[in-house]
Structure formats: structure tokens, C-alpha cells
Amino acid sequence: MTEYVIYGNRPLKGEVSISGAKNAAVAIIPAALLVNGKSRIDNIPEISDVSLMLDILRRVGADVRLINRSCVEIDCSNIYTTKAPYDLARMIRASYYMLGAMLGRFRSAQVALPGGCDLGVRPIDQHIKGFKALGANVDVQSGFVTAEAPDGLCGTSVYLDIVSVGATINIMLAAVLAEGMTVIENAAKEPHIVDVANFLNSMGANIIGAGTDVIKIRGVKKMTGGCYTIIPDQIEAGTYMAAAAAATGEVLIKNIIPKHLECITAKLTEMGVEITEYDDSLLVRSRLPFTKTNIKTLPYPGFPTDMQPQAAVLLCLAEGTSMITEGVWENRYRYVDELKRMGAQIQVDGKVAVIEGVKKLLGAPVRACDLRAGAALVVAGLAADGVTEVEDVSHIERGYENIVEKLSRLGAQITRMQMPDGKALAKAR
Ligand code: UD1
């Protein structure tokens, strides 16, 4: 077991550079399967979810070469199976993109039901609805989703009953090589949807409207290789904004697209955090306590659900009572019990959390139960008095590149510790 040990209550100062977007990378990597040739993808974050996606591609026959730490070349000329390896695919949510990409290029795909963070029920009915509308037969059996379209896919209109990032991207992947025009209505508008569409277009696809709620995909006969650079990670940037605010001080967050962060900037400003916007960076300055604020998470351009736990930590340090309403996931408050160990006063009732601000959080041993929950506990640990030990950090390292190094460079006292098995067992008991 690996944990982070954080000596908190030290102001953060300096500059941090944001890595490539995780949720774009884990979609663009399988999207490379649509190209019968080489794609070079730059600004890939060095995180375990990306390594896992690259391993899944290798296991179906892709030739994956790391050009440097953030650039990869993927050659999909010799794919020999359309069945994604079960053991790897079930470990990561984004493995469902193998369905759209394989179905699009080979008219056949078999992928394990996806894994990923436990945020409550995570159905994929809208993905399946889209594949079926395009003419595929889809079957879910023994933990596998099988999609087949022996006669090819045919452009169609798909209305999503719920705004879904995954379904929007998966239907785009399946449709780019289909016959005729596909229209996705009520599509998700997240920055990584636009990034995936831009990647596909740069490889020869014909997609318009990504970033709006109607996306039109005119099927093309073939896609060819090229080079593409992934956008900066909106949620990593937001997490460093929260860390800078919670730990006070002054931090320049570099290599970002400020437009993608407006929903986060607006709420942090409402809390009293001072944010100055530049072309591709933001300066965050803060002083405690924050102002109580209500937040509702919504699909983009609403406040992102993936920033909800980190925002909750800031609201713990606000004067008065704040309220969060989770508008995307069914069960995204599992971190609350851990924050309570640090002195937070939070009551959860269904999708609503009522947060009573406290003067100080106090360090404690806590457990990361998922990726963003883990990030929130790190943010809490940076602000807290005393020592916080965050366990199960593998969740955090799925999505944050070099978080310990980046925070250390800002002056945080944070160490990554490999626990001997004996100590880990004793703790578990
Ligand atoms: C993606 C992100 C995740 C983020 C989420 C919402 C990746 C790898 N993950 O997840 O970090 O929290 O967007 O911004 O990009 N739904 C259905 N049926 C479906 C699909 C979704 O009912 O077929 C529901 C979900 O249960 C959820 C809502 O739609 O309540 C949004 O889910 P979706 O946008 O699909 O999330 P993911 O793409 O899985």
C-alpha cells in the first residue's frame, strides 16, 4: 500500500504546469484504432489510466511506442483481435471507448463491462442505444458487451435521453466511418468532447458541432495518420486552484485554457478567492475564511462533478453554511466520512450535502475511495493543522501526473511512502 504523508497548514507559493487532459487522452488513445496507420499523440499525461489504455491497445495488436514522456506513437495497422482483454478492460471506465472504435473500424467489438470510480450506478444504455441506432446488434452477457454490424453501420439520428460524455464520444467513434450522416442530439459539450472531435477531424473525419448539443458526423471512407496535441486537463487545473486556495498563498497555474475553467473560477471567486486570468494561466491568491456558497454540479458548462469533492473542502473552510447538490452522479459523497475524521461538519441527504464551515481542519489518517475524493483529501491535508496520511493513493495516481512533485515544488510538505505489508495490515485491522 502506498500513502501520502502531508504536514499541512503551509502556504503554497510558485508555479505549477498542468498536464494533458486525462479524459481526453483515454478517449483519443482508443480512437487511434480508427486509423489504419500511425497516429502521434502529444501532451499525454503520465498517469496510470493512460498506461492501462495503452496496454489494452497493445494487447489487441497495436504497436505503441513512447517517443518521450508525454508523446506516444500508435500504429494500428496490424490489429488482430476485436476483443479487448477482460482483465484490463474491467479496470478502467474508458475501456468502453474500445467498443465505439472497434465497431467503427472492424464492425465488431467485444469489451468487458467497464470499471472505474465507484460513483453509484454507471449504466451504458445510451452508448448501446447509439450503436443500435447505427445498425449494430448489441448483446450484454457474462460481463462482456458484444457489438456486431456485419452489414456495416449506417448514419442516423440519435437523441441522448441523458447528457452523457461517454455516450457522446462513443457514438462519434462508431459513426466516423459509417455510411452517411449521423446526428447526435442532446450531446455533451465538455472540452474533451471537442478535443476528441478535433483529433478525429485531424485524422480525416468530418465532424461539426462538437462543443454544442448537436453534433453532426458525416461518415468518411478512411482515416489517415497524423499528429495531435491533447488539451490541458481542466480538472487537474481546478484541483490545483482548490489546493492553492485551501492552503492560502499565491500560485500561478500555467498551461491551461482559462475558458474551460470559467465554471470553477466563478465559484471560487464567489467564495472570495482572488483569481487573475491571463492568456494561458491563472494566478490564485486566497485568504481564509471563505464566503459560504451553494454549488450544483451539472454537465459542462455547469460546475463539474469531478470538482465537487475538492470544492467541498473549500466550503468546510467557509464562514457559515453552504450547500452542494450533486446533479450528475448518484453516489458521490463517499469521501464525506473521511473529511469528518479531519473535523469537517457535513450532513448528506441523498444528492445534497450541507456543509457547516469550521475554523480549522485537523490532520488524520484517511482513505482515498476514488480519484477525485483522493484529490480532495490531499487538498484538505494541505490546509489542515498537523499530519494527514492519505491511504490508497493508487486512485489518485490514476489521474494526477506527479502530484507529489508538483505540490512539493509549491512548498507543500508531502511525501509518498511505500508502507511495509505488516504496517498496512495492522492499519487495516
Ligand atoms: C465522464 C468522466 C467522469 C465524469 C463524467 C461526468 C471519463 C473517462 N469520465 O464519465 O470523470 O464524472 O463524465 O462529467 O471521461 N448515464 C446513463 N446512461 C448512459 C451513460 C450515462 O444513465 O449510457 C448517466 C450516468 O449514470 C450519469 C450521467 O449519465 O448519471 C453522466 O454520465 P457520463 O457523462 O456518461 O459519465 P462518463 O462518461 O462515464
Give the residue among 354, 300, 352, 346 at the shortest CA–CA distance from 325: 352
The answer to whether residues 292 and 419 belong to one domain is yes
Q: Please check whether residues 215 and 330 belong to one and the same domain.
A: no
* 233 neighbors 45 (Cβ within 8 angstroms): yes
Do 221 and 331 reside in the same domain of the chain? Answer: no
Dist. CA 49 → ligand 1 center (Å): 16
Of 178, 205, 229, which residue sits at a domain end?
229
State yes or no: cis peptide before 299, omega within 30 of 0: no
Instruction: State which of 229, 255, 282 marks the end of a domain.
Output: 229
294 and 191 fall within a common domain: no
Our CA angle for 17, 19, 23, nearest 5°, is 145
Tell whether the model's pLDDT for residue 116 goes beyond 60.
no
Which cell is 193 given? 468532447
Confidence of residue 30 (pLDDT cuts 50, 70, 90): very high
Within 10 angstroms of residue 367's Cβ, the number of other Cβ atoms is 21
**Ligand 1, CB cutoff 6 Å, lining residues:** 23, 26, 93-94, 122-127, 162, 164-167, 188, 305-306, 328-329
CA–CA separation, 110 and 129 (whole Å): 16
- Note whether 73 and 88 are same-domain residues: yes
Instruction: Please name the residue that has the C-alpha cell 465488431.
Output: 108
User: Does residue 296 sit in the same domain as residue 327?
Assistant: yes
Q: Which residue puts its alpha carbon closest to atom 22 of ligand 1?
A: 123
Model confidence pLDDT, tens digit, residues 254-305: 999 999 999 999 999 999 999 999 999 999 999 999 999 999 999 999 999 9
pLDDT per position as a tens digit, 342-386: 999 999 999 999 999 999 999 999 999 999 999 999 999 999 999
Measured from the Cα of 129, ligand 1's closest atom is: 23
In which band, very low, low, confident or very high, does the pLDDT at 423 lie, cut at 50, 70 and 90? low
Read off φ and ψ for residue 343, nearest 5 degrees.
100, 5
Confidence of residue 422 (pLDDT cuts 50, 70, 90): low
Instruction: Note the pLDDT of residue 40.
Output: 97
Name which residue leads in pLDDT, 28 or 92: 28
| Residues counted in the chain | 429
Quick one: what percent of the chain has pLDDT higher than 90? 90
CB 299 within 8 A of CB 188: yes
Domain that holds residue 348: 2-19+232-428
Residues 159 and 211 in one domain: yes
Q: Which CATH number characterizes residue 210's domain?
A: 3.65.10.10
- Probe residue for ligand 1, chosen from 95, 124, 164 as the CB with the greatest number of ligand atoms within 8 Å: 164
Q: Is 148 found in the same domain as 239?
A: no
What ranges make up the beta strands (E) of 108-180? Answer: 108-112, 137-141, 144-148, 157-159
Q: What is the DSSP pairing of strand 38-42 with strand 226-229?
A: parallel
117 is catalytic: yes
Q: Into how many domains does the chain fold?
A: 2
Residue 16: predicted pLDDT: 98
Give me the amino acid identity at 192.
H
- Enter the C-alpha cell of residue 1: 500500500
The residue whose grid cell reads 498551461 is: 255
Of ligand 1's listed atoms, the one at least distance from the Cα of 117 is 11
Residue to mutate (ligand 1; options 49, 158, 165, 335; most atoms within 8 A of CB): 165
Instruction: Give residue for cell 449504466.
Output: 123
Among the candidates 229, 257, 275, a domain finishes at 229
Rounded to whole angstroms, what are the CA distances from 1 to 51, 121, 345, 353, 425? 19, 27, 29, 30, 9
Selected catalytic residue, list 76, 117, 263, 316: 117
Nearest-CA residue for ligand 1 atom 20 is 124
The pLDDT of residue 429 is 44
- Number of the ligand 1 atom closest to the C-alpha atom of 114: 39
